[in-house]
Amino acid sequence: MKLSYAREGGLFFQVSETEIEVEDLPADLQTLARKLLENPDDYRSREKNASLRDGYQYRLELREGRKKVNLTFDDLTLPDGFQPLIQYLQEKAINDH
Amino acid sequence: MRNHCPCNCHIIPPFVVDKLKEAGVEIPSQKTINREFRERRDEKNALLRSEAFLVTPPIKNADRFVYDSKTTQHQRLLLVRKEGGPAAPDAVVNTVYENAAAVRDYYKTALNYFSVDNRGADLILNVHFGKEYANAFWDGDEMTFGDGDGQVFTNLANALDVTAHELTHGVVQYTANLTYKGQSGALNEHYADVFGSVIKQHAKKQTAATADWLIGDEIMGPTLQGQALRSMKAPGTAYNNALMGQDPQPDHMSKLYKGAADNGGVHINSGIPNKVFFLVATAIGTDKAALLWFETLKTLKPTTNFKSFKTALLKIAKKLTTAGNVPATTETVTKQSFESVGL
């Protein structure tokens, strides 16, 4: 299973992107990624704040075989418990760069 | 941040919860926070639609409220300082509190505009948002600042121009409400930079000639000293390093970014009107240019593009010149400045 991550936005123009095999994530983050793929609607952001200025937009894409899940969040709609996953992916994106 | 957990547990680390409880602070669950937030917003929207509001708009005092997010991604978590209250033990809290006053006072004194909505709305400031969160934002209601990652940025709440930038997004929302996409979005960012720089110059008692015209230079990490987020004087030259890449801002319409990223280049193409403001301020003085820009803001439509922005500015320049509020050369200088960037 493959996980793609992108973060755009912020006070200045910046795009951070990375991709990882879910099996290479730490165990707790693997569990979260699998839950995401199985039940994406539990995590999908229902409201978009059109007034957000300079905030980050986060995009996660999970792919396994033919199954593909896309999720988009901003700083205020990012679900609780996602911060460790985002931090891990962001650090990887910086190191990849 | 939303809580999708079926229980009422917290993302706030247990040790933080314990400390808050020791301090006598009752921690609301995220569901409660979300409900309260929705209720506040519903009340505000109902008030805005009410007849009473239209007849006698309520006036508040633009009071400041500083909240500590305790490195979580929750807003209004712990109130640590409010208007007229004693200083907090946390220097970051006191700095953002003072910076918000500097911005509020400039708008009131120089531009006769009171808080973000000209009705004295409370100024809500959240600090220590997220873990090593290297950003700051306006969300339609309040300002939020991260501590920085210590590499690219230090604490974002410490810089006056960053606070002025974010608060100005609020002012724009309540005036022209420039659509945050393409050229109107770039104008939204441009206005935030203009008043970021203008208010910093005012606080430092600088003139257009002595100012550095940099945005965010005071929050740059230790290895990036001397660089900044943007240069209004020389767009495209603010940074060039391994951590941030190279400043992509154009200084002329011939280099306009036409891609889809960054909402169609809102933080990129703002370099073009930024350069125009620098040129006009250099010719007529920063405060006069600020007055011209602000009076124009009140006349703009959400879909204003660079060309119609020029037309609107020239119209207001003529009006202010006739009234004797700006130098006689203002209209000519403004026209020439736009021409120099290809507009």
Who wins on pLDDT, B201 or A45?
A: B201
Measure Cα distances from B19 to A1, B14, B23, B24, B132 in Å.
40, 9, 6, 9, 21
Number of domains in chain B: 2
In a domain, B166, yes or no: yes
- Enumerate residues 6+ apart whose C-beta is below 8 A from A46: none
The token duo for B310 is 């020029």
Domain-ending residue, one of B143, B174, B205: B174
Show which of B129, B150, B174 is a domain's final residue: B174
- Edge-first strand listing for the sheet containing A67-74: A15-21, A2-9, A56-64, A67-74
Q: In terms of domains, do B160 and B231 share one?
A: no
**Domain containing residue B329:** 182-340
Tell whether B109 and B188 lie within a shared domain. no
pLDDT over threshold 50, residue A29? yes
Pairing mode of beta strands B78-82, B230-231: unpaired
How far, in Å, are A93, B106, B134, B296, B332 from residue A87 at the CA level? 10, 38, 12, 42, 51
Beta carbon pairs, A and B, within 8 Å: 100
Catalytic residue among B74, B169, B190, B267: B267
pLDDT in tens, B184-234: 999 999 999 999 999 999 999 999 999 999 999 999 999 999 999 999 999
Residue B252 designated active-site:
no
Residue B286 shares a structural domain with residue B191: yes
Same domain (yes/no): B116, B83: yes
Residues B220 and B317 both lie in one domain: yes
ipTM above 0.90, yes or no: yes
Provide the pLDDT for residue B5: 38
Residues counted in chain B: 343
The reply to whether B330 and B187 lie within a common domain is yes
Q: Are A10 and B130 an interchain contact pair (Cβ–Cβ within 8 Å)? A: no
Q: What is the mean pLDDT of residues B291-308?
A: 98
Q: Are residues B194 and B335 in the same domain?
A: yes
Range of the domain at A91: 2-96
Residue-wise pLDDT tens digits, B135-171: 999 999 999 999 999 999 999 999 999 999 999 999 9
> Over the stretch B57-104, which tens digit does the pLDDT of each residue have?
668 999 999 999 999 999 999 999 999 999 999 999 999 999 999 999
Residues B154 and B264 in one domain: no
At B6, the pLDDT band (50, 70, 90 cuts) reads: very low
B187 and B168, same domain (yes or no): no
Last residue of a domain, one of B139, B174, B209: B174
Q: Which among B11, B136, B262 has the least Cβ separation from residue A8?
A: B262
Find chain A residues with C-beta within 8 A of B162's C-beta: 11
Q: Is B190 a catalytic residue?
A: no
- pLDDT on residue A94: 87
Look at residue A95 and give its three-state secondary structure.
helix
pLDDT at B22: 61
Q: Check whether B7 has a pLDDT greater than 50.
A: no
Q: Is the pLDDT of residue A82 over 70?
A: yes
Residue B257 lies in a domain: yes
pLDDT at res. B69: 97
| Contact state of B135 with A51 under an 8 Å Cβ cutoff | no
User: Could you report the per-residue pLDDT of B19-56, keeping only the tens digit for each?
Assistant: 555 655 555 555 455 555 556 666 666 666 566 555 56
